[in-house]
Amino acid sequence: MGIYLTSSILLKPGEEVITGTPGYAGARRTYQQLGAKVNLAPMDKDGIDLDWIESFCKKKNIRLVYVIPHHHQPTTVTLTPDRRIRLLELAAKYKFAIIEDDYDYDFHYAGRPMMPMASLDRNGNVIYIGALTKSLAPAIRVGFIVAPEQFIRAATWLRKSIDTQGDSLIENAIAQLYKDGTIPRHIKKSVKLYKERRDHFCHLLTTELGRHISFTIPEGGMSVWTTFLKNSLPAVAEKVFKKGLIISDGTDYDTERIKYNAVGLGFASLNFKEQEKAIGILKSVL
């Protein structure tokens, strides 16, 4: 909803948008539905390629750049501090908006998480979007937008034309849980648990599937971006499904030119025994 509201306000049909590849397919589909032209910037270990973005800005008028700088979905890489500053400078120079999607800020396992780009923005270019879905439960569909006041007013009116209000009971209950400290305590416990599950999961990937895959241990998030080296991922997904394991076939991340044959394998919801069972199924198929 946050991505839809912001992009509906910012974009007109035919305007240019930049997003990373591989990237979040839900955002890309939203821009396409609104009639925007989606341009895919490559990703590397330091995040979205700023040289590519600047080169593109010199050729065309860019309206919007969509980024997930913290635990990029699906690769989990973090945009480096120097690239964050440079992206803000480019936004000011070429007058484009930045949607900063920070869907799981709290789940960082390597020291303290980096502050959002929005905290450095002095020109009102950044629209910061977050959610509590990952922090609490998938069924709790509560998110938020941080942006200049005028933009928030426009988003509020648009939201009212779509859906009069959110779930007030849930929103007030969550507000109370923040006030009494329940949610911060819950997140602290969750981060500790998910770090243990990440470490165990990555150990299993290395010891049981090492010949078949490649991956980098993520600094945060709830999944491991895993490239299948020898086997077709769609075929693997189909076979493991018959054995009771559900994984994405990875095609959501593919482009016309690139077939990544990779997927984010989730670990956060699985205890050690469930992880071992899941990896066992994958191993038997591979």
Interval 110-128: pLDDT, tens: 877 889 999 999 999 999 9
What pLDDT is recorded for position 133? 85
Cα separation, 55 vs 46, in Å, equals 18
**So what's the architecture of 184-285 in CATH?**
Alpha-Beta Complex (3.90)
Average pLDDT across each block of 10 residues of the chain; the chain has 286 residues. List them in order: 95 97 94 96 95 96 96 93 96 97 88 88 94 85 93 95 86 93 93 96 97 95 95 97 96 92 96 98 97
CB-based contact 34:8 (threshold 8 Å): yes
What pLDDT is recorded for position 137? 84
DSSP helix, strand, coil percent of the chain (3-state; round to 5):
45, 20, 35
Strand partners, 18: 39, 65
Domain ranges of the chain: 2-177, 184-285
Pairing of strands 97-101, 213-215: unpaired
**pTM, rounded to two decimals:** 0.92
Which candidate, 80, 155, 89, 154, places its Cα nearest to that of 125? Answer: 89
Cα separation, 256 vs 223, in Å, equals 25
Cα separation, 116 vs 104, in Å, equals 12
What pLDDT is recorded for position 106? 85
Residue 83 CB neighbours (<10 A): 19
What pLDDT is recorded for position 167? 85
Cα separation, 58 vs 252, in Å, equals 29
What pLDDT is recorded for position 248? 95
Cα separation, 86 vs 65, in Å, equals 13
Cα separation, 107 vs 87, in Å, equals 24
Give me the amino acid identity at 139: A
Q: Which CATH class is domain 2-177?
A: alpha beta
Cα separation, 183 vs 178, in Å, equals 5
What pLDDT is recorded for position 103? 87
Angle at 112 between CA 109 and CA 114, to 5 degrees: 110
Cα separation, 163 vs 157, in Å, equals 10
Residue in the block written with tokens 């942006």: 147
Q: With b meaning 16 or more CB within 10 Å and e meaning fewer, what string describes 150-179?
A: ebeebbeeebeeeeeeeeeeeeeebeebee
What pLDDT is recorded for position 244? 96
DSSP string across 244-261: T-----SGGG--SS----
Pairing of strands 37-44, 62-67: unpaired
